[in-house]
Amino acid sequence: MDTRGAVADKGRAMDEVFGLFPTPFMRAPGTLGRPVVARLIEHFTARAIRDNNSSAHLVHTEMLRPNDSPVLVEAAGLIAPKLVDFGTYLFGERLPWLLKEMWVNVLEAGGRQAMHNHANSFVSGVVYLTRTHPSSQTVFMKPPGGTDFLFKNDHQGMTPNEYCADKWISPAPEPGDMVLFPSYLMHAVPPNQGERRITLSFNAIPSQLDSWGYVVRFVG
Protein backbone atom coordinates (compact mmCIF):
# COMPACT_ATOMS: atom_id res chain seq x y z
CA MET A 1 0.00 0.00 0.00
CA ASP A 2 1.40 3.43 -0.98
CA THR A 3 1.10 5.81 1.99
CA ARG A 4 3.08 8.70 0.54
CA GLY A 5 -0.06 10.76 -0.14
CA ALA A 6 -1.32 10.36 3.44
CA VAL A 7 2.05 11.38 4.84
CA ALA A 8 2.09 14.43 2.64
CA ASP A 9 -1.40 15.44 3.82
CA LYS A 10 -0.38 15.04 7.48
CA GLY A 11 2.64 17.24 6.95
CA ARG A 12 0.77 20.02 5.19
CA ALA A 13 0.12 23.17 7.21
CA MET A 14 -3.45 23.95 8.20
CA ASP A 15 -5.33 26.79 6.50
CA GLU A 16 -5.55 29.93 8.63
CA VAL A 17 -8.01 32.83 8.73
CA PHE A 18 -6.81 36.07 10.32
CA GLY A 19 -9.09 38.79 11.74
CA LEU A 20 -7.31 41.82 10.31
CA PHE A 21 -7.49 44.95 12.46
CA PRO A 22 -10.32 43.70 14.70
CA THR A 23 -12.33 45.97 16.99
CA PRO A 24 -11.66 45.19 20.68
CA PHE A 25 -14.58 44.68 23.04
CA MET A 26 -14.05 43.84 26.70
CA ARG A 27 -16.52 42.10 28.98
CA ALA A 28 -15.60 42.36 32.67
CA PRO A 29 -17.99 40.32 34.86
CA GLY A 30 -18.54 41.46 38.42
CA THR A 31 -16.62 44.73 38.12
CA LEU A 32 -18.88 46.34 40.73
CA GLY A 33 -19.95 44.31 43.75
CA ARG A 34 -23.52 44.10 44.98
CA PRO A 35 -23.19 46.78 47.71
CA VAL A 36 -21.89 49.36 45.21
CA VAL A 37 -24.57 48.40 42.68
CA ALA A 38 -27.31 48.75 45.32
CA ARG A 39 -26.04 52.18 46.40
CA LEU A 40 -25.87 53.43 42.81
CA ILE A 41 -29.46 52.33 42.18
CA GLU A 42 -30.69 53.88 45.44
CA HIS A 43 -28.85 57.16 44.99
CA PHE A 44 -29.31 57.86 41.29
CA THR A 45 -32.57 56.28 40.07
CA ALA A 46 -34.60 59.17 41.49
CA ARG A 47 -32.22 61.65 39.83
CA ALA A 48 -32.82 60.17 36.36
CA ILE A 49 -35.34 62.78 35.22
CA ARG A 50 -33.92 63.93 31.88
CA ASP A 51 -35.92 62.74 28.90
CA ASN A 52 -34.30 61.03 25.95
CA ASN A 53 -35.58 61.91 22.49
CA SER A 54 -35.36 58.32 21.25
CA SER A 55 -38.01 56.96 23.63
CA ALA A 56 -40.66 58.23 26.01
CA HIS A 57 -39.76 55.36 28.37
CA LEU A 58 -36.06 56.22 28.72
CA VAL A 59 -34.69 58.79 31.16
CA HIS A 60 -31.21 59.51 32.47
CA THR A 61 -29.41 61.66 34.99
CA GLU A 62 -27.42 64.76 34.18
CA MET A 63 -23.77 64.22 33.27
CA LEU A 64 -21.87 63.39 36.45
CA ARG A 65 -18.22 63.42 37.51
CA PRO A 66 -16.78 60.78 39.85
CA ASN A 67 -16.25 63.35 42.61
CA ASP A 68 -19.97 64.23 42.60
CA SER A 69 -20.68 61.36 45.00
CA PRO A 70 -18.69 58.98 47.25
CA VAL A 71 -20.31 55.98 45.54
CA LEU A 72 -19.22 57.28 42.13
CA VAL A 73 -15.68 57.68 43.49
CA GLU A 74 -15.79 54.05 44.60
CA ALA A 75 -17.21 52.88 41.27
CA ALA A 76 -14.60 54.86 39.34
CA GLY A 77 -11.83 53.26 41.39
CA LEU A 78 -13.05 49.80 40.40
CA ILE A 79 -13.51 50.73 36.74
CA ALA A 80 -10.12 52.45 36.32
CA PRO A 81 -7.87 49.32 36.24
CA LYS A 82 -10.06 47.79 33.54
CA LEU A 83 -9.69 50.95 31.44
CA VAL A 84 -5.91 50.63 31.67
CA ASP A 85 -6.10 46.99 30.56
CA PHE A 86 -8.44 47.77 27.69
CA GLY A 87 -6.39 50.77 26.60
CA THR A 88 -3.43 48.53 25.75
CA TYR A 89 -5.50 47.01 22.91
CA LEU A 90 -6.23 50.47 21.49
CA PHE A 91 -2.88 52.20 21.96
CA GLY A 92 -0.32 49.49 22.79
CA GLU A 93 0.63 51.04 26.12
CA ARG A 94 -0.57 50.98 29.72
CA LEU A 95 -1.68 54.61 30.04
CA PRO A 96 -3.50 56.31 32.93
CA TRP A 97 -7.14 56.96 32.02
CA LEU A 98 -9.57 59.69 33.07
CA LEU A 99 -13.31 59.22 33.48
CA LYS A 100 -14.79 62.28 31.73
CA GLU A 101 -18.43 61.80 32.57
CA MET A 102 -20.85 59.24 33.97
CA TRP A 103 -24.63 59.00 33.85
CA VAL A 104 -27.36 56.59 34.92
CA ASN A 105 -30.01 55.38 32.46
CA VAL A 106 -33.43 54.07 33.50
CA LEU A 107 -35.24 52.14 30.77
CA GLU A 108 -38.82 51.15 31.51
CA ALA A 109 -40.81 48.46 29.71
CA GLY A 110 -41.35 49.52 26.09
CA GLY A 111 -38.36 51.86 26.12
CA ARG A 112 -35.49 51.74 23.65
CA GLN A 113 -32.27 53.53 22.81
CA ALA A 114 -31.64 54.51 19.18
CA MET A 115 -28.41 53.67 17.38
CA HIS A 116 -25.63 56.07 18.40
CA ASN A 117 -21.99 56.41 19.35
CA HIS A 118 -20.16 58.72 21.79
CA ALA A 119 -18.27 61.82 20.74
CA ASN A 120 -15.24 63.47 22.38
CA SER A 121 -13.95 60.30 24.05
CA PHE A 122 -11.91 57.21 23.23
CA VAL A 123 -13.46 54.47 25.37
CA SER A 124 -17.07 54.15 26.48
CA GLY A 125 -18.55 51.67 28.89
CA VAL A 126 -21.73 50.34 30.43
CA VAL A 127 -22.14 48.83 33.88
CA TYR A 128 -25.39 46.88 34.21
CA LEU A 129 -27.03 47.60 37.57
CA THR A 130 -30.13 45.41 37.19
CA ARG A 131 -30.92 42.24 35.33
CA THR A 132 -31.46 42.76 31.61
CA HIS A 133 -34.32 41.16 29.71
CA PRO A 134 -33.04 39.28 26.63
CA SER A 135 -35.01 41.67 24.43
CA SER A 136 -32.95 44.66 25.58
CA GLN A 137 -29.40 43.33 25.55
CA THR A 138 -27.12 45.95 24.01
CA VAL A 139 -26.67 45.52 20.26
CA PHE A 140 -23.50 46.64 18.46
CA MET A 141 -23.46 47.45 14.74
CA LYS A 142 -21.01 47.87 11.93
CA PRO A 143 -20.51 51.52 11.05
CA PRO A 144 -22.60 52.39 7.97
CA GLY A 145 -20.82 52.58 4.61
CA GLY A 146 -17.19 52.64 3.67
CA THR A 147 -15.83 49.09 3.68
CA ASP A 148 -18.56 46.60 2.75
CA PHE A 149 -19.34 45.03 -0.61
CA LEU A 150 -22.25 46.71 -2.37
CA PHE A 151 -24.00 43.38 -2.89
CA LYS A 152 -24.66 41.22 0.16
CA ASN A 153 -25.49 37.58 0.76
CA ASP A 154 -28.37 37.86 3.23
CA HIS A 155 -31.06 35.19 3.45
CA GLN A 156 -32.41 32.48 5.79
CA GLY A 157 -29.90 29.88 4.63
CA MET A 158 -26.76 31.88 5.48
CA THR A 159 -25.00 31.82 8.86
CA PRO A 160 -23.81 35.24 10.09
CA ASN A 161 -20.35 35.40 11.62
CA GLU A 162 -17.98 38.11 12.85
CA TYR A 163 -16.91 38.90 9.29
CA CYS A 164 -20.29 39.23 7.59
CA ALA A 165 -22.84 40.08 10.29
CA ASP A 166 -24.27 43.60 10.53
CA LYS A 167 -25.11 43.30 14.23
CA TRP A 168 -23.79 41.59 17.35
CA ILE A 169 -25.79 41.12 20.55
CA SER A 170 -23.66 41.43 23.66
CA PRO A 171 -23.77 38.55 26.18
CA ALA A 172 -26.52 38.51 28.80
CA PRO A 173 -25.16 40.54 31.74
CA GLU A 174 -25.54 40.14 35.48
CA PRO A 175 -25.79 43.14 37.83
CA GLY A 176 -22.29 44.56 38.30
CA ASP A 177 -20.99 43.35 34.91
CA MET A 178 -19.29 45.92 32.70
CA VAL A 179 -18.47 46.19 29.01
CA LEU A 180 -15.90 48.51 27.42
CA PHE A 181 -15.68 49.46 23.75
CA PRO A 182 -14.20 52.15 21.50
CA SER A 183 -16.40 55.22 21.63
CA TYR A 184 -16.86 55.26 17.86
CA LEU A 185 -18.63 51.87 17.89
CA MET A 186 -22.32 52.18 17.00
CA HIS A 187 -24.71 50.60 19.49
CA ALA A 188 -28.37 50.58 20.50
CA VAL A 189 -30.85 49.02 22.92
CA PRO A 190 -33.91 47.32 21.35
CA PRO A 191 -37.36 47.77 22.92
CA ASN A 192 -37.35 46.46 26.48
CA GLN A 193 -39.96 43.75 26.96
CA GLY A 194 -39.06 43.13 30.59
CA GLU A 195 -38.80 44.99 33.88
CA ARG A 196 -36.99 48.26 34.57
CA ARG A 197 -33.41 48.21 33.26
CA ILE A 198 -30.85 50.46 34.98
CA THR A 199 -27.32 51.02 33.72
CA LEU A 200 -24.37 53.27 34.50
CA SER A 201 -22.70 54.59 31.34
CA PHE A 202 -19.48 56.55 31.04
CA ASN A 203 -16.88 57.99 28.67
CA ALA A 204 -13.13 57.99 29.24
CA ILE A 205 -9.98 59.48 27.76
CA PRO A 206 -6.29 58.60 28.22
CA SER A 207 -4.07 61.03 30.09
CA GLN A 208 -2.06 61.63 26.92
CA LEU A 209 -1.22 60.32 23.45
CA ASP A 210 2.29 60.51 21.97
CA SER A 211 2.75 60.19 18.21
CA TRP A 212 6.51 60.25 17.69
CA GLY A 213 7.02 63.33 19.82
CA TYR A 214 3.74 65.06 19.00
CA VAL A 215 2.18 64.82 22.46
CA VAL A 216 -1.41 65.69 23.30
CA ARG A 217 -2.37 65.75 26.98
CA PHE A 218 -6.00 65.49 28.05
CA VAL A 219 -7.69 66.94 31.10
CA GLY A 220 -10.71 65.16 32.55
Q: Mapped to the 3 state alphabet, what secondary structure does 118-186 carry? A: CCCCCEEEEEECCCCCHHHCCEEECCCCCCCCCCCCCCCCCCCCCCCCCEEECCCCCCCCEEEEECCCE
Whole-structure pTM value: 0.90
pLDDT at 10: 67
3 pLDDT higher than 60: no
pLDDT at 145: 66
Residues 99-153 have pLDDT tens digits of 999 999 999 999 999 999 999 999 999 999 999 999 999 999 987 766 666 678 8
Give the CATH architecture of domain 22-207: Sandwich (2.60)
pLDDT range class, residue 154, cuts 50, 70, 90: confident
Looking at per-residue pLDDT, the higher value among 145 and 36 belongs to 36
64 pLDDT higher than 80: yes
Average pLDDT over residues 160-187: 95
Percent of the chain with pLDDT over 90: 81
pLDDT at 73: 97
Q: Among 196, 200, 179, 174, which Cα is nearest to 68's? A: 200
CA–CA separation, 87 and 97 (whole Å) = 8
